[in-house]
A and B are shown apart, each in its own frame.
Chain A
Amino acid sequence: EDQVTQSPEALRLQEGESSSLNCSYTVSGLRGLFWYRQDPGKGPEFLFTLYSAGEEKEKERLKATLTKKESFLHITAPKPEDSATYLCAGGLGGATNKLIFGTGTLLAVQP
């Protein structure tokens, strides 16, 4: 069964304290690994797409990496405004672009 699992469920960091979020996946014919940020009551905001193992992408304090089994979202020197739920999703193969989402990591960054 196609599945995406994220850990930890929740993470509390001090401002400036770097850390990583994990996303492990078992998705047949994975056609992309997607990271989104979601604020409470809002729609997911696109962050990164990774297509092949070894690929890395960066944006401000965030860096996403991909291996054959998992992806990491590294947060360097986070600020309180980085507080949000971070969602990981695997894109299925075939004729569809259906996304299988993990349950997310709730990140709280305290000043």
Chain B
Amino acid sequence: DSGVTQTPKHLITATGQRVTLRCSPRSGDLSVYWYQQSLDQGLQFLIQYYNGEERAKGNILERFSAQQFPDLHSELNLSSLELGDSALYFCASSVGAGRDTQYFGPGTRLTVL
């Protein structure tokens, strides 16, 4: 158990809908990262937050957004969902924003029908 929690574990929804994924980092960690893992793409970095502020963006679609709250938990919002958004979404956390080790949560499996 890495100490990173994610909810829900599974999410099934329809195209065009909006969903919110939630992540709680390890105690004491200030950075939260979101990654997408699909069969054909592998693990892809989406976005990083450090102590409430956006630190880095990867290949995140405009339909996707995230935020980190004062209690350091984070939410990833996915809207206007498409079939191709079906994937595993992982949250990771680290102590700082530099080269610290990232610890991953168990993931949320999103299925868009």
Contacts and interface: CB of A to CB of B under 8 A. Distances in A.
A binds B: yes
Interface of A: 31-32, 34, 36, 41-46, 49, 51, 87, 89, 91, 95-104
Interface of B: 2, 4, 31, 33, 35, 42-45, 48, 55-56, 58, 88, 90, 94, 96-107, 109
Contacts, number: 69
Dominant SS among interface residues on chain B: strand
Contacts of B45: 98-100
Contacts of B88: 41
Given A43-B107, A44-B90, A97 B98 contact: yes
Contacts of A104: 42
Contacts of A43: 2, 4, 90, 104-107
A51 B97 CA distance: 16
- Residue from A41, A98, A101 with most neighbouring chain B CB atoms (10 Å): A98
Contacts of A102: 42
A87 B90 CA distance: 14
Contact of A98 (B48, B96, B100): B48
A37 to B, nearest CB: 11
